[in-house]
Amino acid sequence: MTGLGVESYAVFEQPHLLVPECFSAQDTHDGVICDGSVHVRRIAFEHMEDKFRLIPIKVAIWDEDVEAAMTADEDTLFDFVNNVNGDWSNYQMRDKIEPSNGWAFPIVTGHKFRFHWGEGIDFETLDFYMNGPWLESDANVHMMTNFTDVRASINITSNTNGELIANETYSTKSEDELISGDNVIYN
């Protein structure tokens, strides 16, 4: 259907989906087409505190090239209100089920993403769901939310089997080189 072979994907276009394996195909598919080297999967967040009600979630690709492009003028990458460069995808909160009072959106496997709900809004708990079909062969998806870079602990438990999922710090920087957004976990 996409012309890219088996296990290729066509999804509605959003900026965070424009990774190297995916490209805009508005004229033929009214969205983004991804080749078979990645998978497009659905993630949903829900059960946030009432202060998040009706606030859109903002999703951006946050791979190494984005981190490397950061300069002393970080406002262009951290301006979650104005979206200066058009790099953020916005998803409205849904009142429906799965998720109930939450946000659902597609993710491309094998990439890092940053999620944000607004300036200065902190959260204590949230649930996220990786809706099927996720396969053992899927590449990891790395997720960073506002305030996860300063948490003492982030505990993620599988709702399928109750298994605690490992926390990891993905930065290779020394402690002196770390900046906000490096997603360091201090357990």
Q: What is the DSSP string of the chain?
A: --SS-TT-EEE---GGG--TTEEEEHHHHSEEEE-TTS-EEEEEEE---GGGTTPPEEEEE--HHHHHT--S-THHHH-TTT-TTS--EEE--B-SSSSTTBEEEEEETT-EEEEE-STT---S--EEEEES---TTSPP-EEEETTGGG-S---EE-TTT-PEEPP-----S-GGG--TTS-----
Segment 17-32 mean pLDDT: 88
Evaluate if residue 20 carries a pLDDT over 90. yes
Name the pTM for this structure.
0.74
β-bridge pairing 164-165 and 142-145: unpaired
Rg, the chain, Cα only: 17
Tens digit of each residue's pLDDT (9 = 90 or more) over 136-149: 788 888 887 765 55
Q: Which residue has the higher pLDDT, 93 or 75?
A: 93
Nearest Cα neighbor of 86 from 161, 158, 13, 8 is 13
Tens digit of each residue's pLDDT (9 = 90 or more) over 60-92: 888 877 766 665 455 555 565 666 667 788 888
Segment 167-181 mean pLDDT: 65
Segment 87-109 mean pLDDT: 83
